[in-house]
Every structure is written in structure tokens, then in C-alpha cells.
Chains A and B, each alone.
Chain A
């Protein structure tokens, strides 16, 4: 197992797509600074504003770009035929998928945490003493939300990996990930009350606020899941996707 994990770690580090995906995720820092400069200007004119926190507003950018790492970890192998070479040297298919999961989890959690924390720090530095809304609580109060955001990024990347193994196509897996993140929650929004909130509470992006007991949105109001249930639901997304991926990888001819 350790040997296969070390191989997967090298696979991830030795292709350019990994660095492009990390670079796009890193754009959150730039966007966060630009946003903070902009709302700081508004605050200087008006005295104070209530602006959204950039590490929350730009979170989908990090979620999508790092989910690409999870998707490509397996679909790039199907696209090139490398999967057959990989399964020849590691015939235990579950071991191969587990090693990929371990590496994708570690890399995306570390990258997401770094990008989110850097954006947090940079935007507060730009804000200084101004009252922008998002900078009026302490770091200790914000830590749970920051970690929940990083966790949601990691789960989405693992979901991408599992769906990639199940669908065996980069485009198909990416469309599925985008659907989970944007399309399905968008549809849930327009269901009649109280079903909009009930269904939306189970949607992947809405689990993040529920992890820390925050409301879903102005439109949907409070979530219905306590933090532990939101955590379970988040992990269930990863487990179901990985289960589907493992099933297809084990049962079907490579």
C-alpha cells in the first residue's frame, strides 16, 4: 500500500495539469485582494459596508479547480490507456483506487487550506481598520468556517475521483461535479417551500455552512442539519462516489 501511494504521489507531481489546477485555485488570493481593495474603496466613501468574505464568495473557484485534480487522477489514465499499464503493475484494483484517494485527499486539503488561509489573511490586511462586514469577527470565530470550506473542497475532489472511475471520461466526470456544485442546488432553490430548504440542505455546497451552524442563504434561511449530520452527509457524498468508482473499476474489463 505504501509503495502504491508513493507511486500515485509521483504520478500527481509529474504532470503539468496538477500545477495548472493549483494555479487556478491560487487565483482566489488575487481575486480576494481585488475584492477587498474594491470594497475598501466603497467603505472609505460611505463609512462602512457589509461585504461578503472573499474566501467564501470565491470558494467555488477553488472547489472546481481542485476537483479537476481528483477527476484527472483517474480519467487521464483512461484517456491515455495508462490505466492498463497501472493495473498490470498493481492488479489489486481496490488498492490502486485507495492509493489515489489518499493522495488526492492529502493534496487537495493541503492546497485548499493554504489558498483559503492566504486569501483570508490578505483580505484582512487590505481591509485594515475599515468596517467591511466580513472582517468584524475574530480569527478564532472564523477558523471552523475556514476548515469546513477546505473540507468541502477535499470532498468534492474525492467525489470527482470516484465519479471519474465510475464514468471513465474526463468530460462526463467534470459535468457531474459541476452539476453537484451548481446545477442541482440551483434547481433545489426553486422548489416550493418547505421542500426548497429541505432538499437544498442536502446539496453539497450547502453542507459547508451547516457544518458551522450558519444559515444557507437569505432566500433559504437556516439549514435543517445539525453540524454532525452535515459532516456525515458530506462524507456520504465521497463514500457513494468512491463506491461507484470501485464497483466499476473492479467489475469491468480495463
Chain B
């Protein structure tokens, strides 16, 4: 079944991301409008929506970077900002560019690791995992977008968290990297972790995600499994275009 906006959210479980009537207003703009949904463990949940739909804002609200105007975002049943060592619970990559370009990859990760008492051995492990060991002593300023994405994923994995959020991690990656991310996301979910993944690449999302949440103009448009959507529509892309048809704010006429 396709759960639509207005229906009650799913059951409360461990290591879930739960949004209850989450609302964020910037001046006159309602970026997130009474958003309620739950992201459960064991799946890759694809987070879709047109540009400006409020996906990134929603992720920032979950991480406590922005304060909701009303409603709440909970991880494991508590607000993110109350966590003392959040890296062991939640890992997130929101913006691969949000690093100091003058720092080496190794020092960048070690700066983050130290805040949560994570040791140097784990830093070396995640560098190895994302394939950046060879450039660990190079400054991040010289990295390509793909390398920065890998560095951001390494940072998200540092604390071995149960909940992971990635905002457009595939951007800038080469075909090898795209497949690597797909396999990584699926293996993280198979280990029982909660994975929330946003992307605009529908074919990639169809291969990676099990469940889909679609947002438009700050509101929830649909919540369904990939299977349900591809049964009702020829492809995930067709499903996405049909469901978001009324919510596109920036784009050519179609």
C-alpha cells in the first residue's frame, strides 16, 4: 500500500528516524510543512523530491543544525541535540564541501573522531574502507567532488552508527564509485542499520533503495516500497514524475 500524507506514522522502533509534524519556516517560506514519517532499520530508504522540496532542510532539522518552528525530529526516540556522543548513534553526510580545505584528510577525520573519543585506528579503518588511504596526508582542498564524497562517507562511518543519512552522496562519483556506494548502502542496511539516502538519480535509486519517501513543497507526497511503485508505474522514474507533477517549483515546462 502507498501511505499518503495524513495517515498516522508507523510503529516506534529502535534506531529509527521519526518525524512528528515537523515544520520549518524561513521568513515567508514554509520549507518543511507538517511532515510526519518514520525511517526504519534494515532498509535503504530513498528520499526523493524536486529541487527545493525540503529534503536537505529535513535532514538538517534531524541533526539539530536548524531548530524546527514546530513539531519534532527524533532519532532513537530522542532529539539529536541531547546526544552526548552522537557519532556512535548517527552518521551523516549532508554537504561534502563542508570541510576546511587546508586540513589533510587524515587530520580532518581525526578532528571529528577526537570529539567523540574515537581512536586513530578507526580513522585509518574508515580511510581504508572508502579508498582514501593513499591520499590521507593530502590537503582536502585539492580533492575532487568524488573524493570529498568519499571523505564525507568516511566521517559518517567513524562512530560505526546504527542510523545513517546521506544527502546526494553519488554526485561527482565515477561509475566505480557509484557502484561502490550502492553496495555500501545495501550492506549497511543488511546489517540492520537505518539508512536514509537522498538522490535525484532514479535509476540508481531503483537499484539501491527498498523503500521510498517522496516530498514536494515541504510536504509528504508518498511513502511506499520500490516494488509497490514499480508495480503501479512502468519505472520508478515514471512513478516519481507522476507523483511530483504538482510540486515542481523550479524547472522547464513538461
Contact = CB atoms under 8 A, between A and B. Distances in A.
A50 interface: no
Interface stretch (A4-12, A213-221, A239-247): A4-12
Contacts of B86: 88-89, 91
A170 to B, nearest CB: 13
Interface residues of B, number: 35
A254 B65 CA distance: 5
Interface string A82-107: 11111111111000000000000000
A87 B83 CA distance: 12
B97 interface: yes
B100 A76 contact: yes
Given A10-B110, A91-B83, A254 B66 contact: yes
Contacts of B101: 80
A14 B103 contact: yes
B66 A85 contact: no
B178 interface: no
B66 A92 contact: no
A77 interface: yes
A253 interface: yes
A16 interface: yes
A15 B49 CA distance: 38
Nearest to A76: B100
Contacts of B63: 88, 91
A15 B102 contact: yes
A10 B111 contact: yes
Interface string B76-118: 0000111110110000101101111111100110111111110
Contacts of A80: 97-101
A196 interface: no
Given A14-B103, A17-B102, A85 B114 contact: no
Contacts of A82: 98-100
Contacts of A81: 95, 97-99
Interface of B: 60, 63-67, 80-84, 86-87, 92, 94-95, 97-104, 107-108, 110-117, 155
4 nearest CB pairs, A to B? A81-B98, A7-B114, A14-B107, A253-B66
Interface of A: 3-4, 6-7, 10-11, 14-17, 76-77, 80-92, 253-254
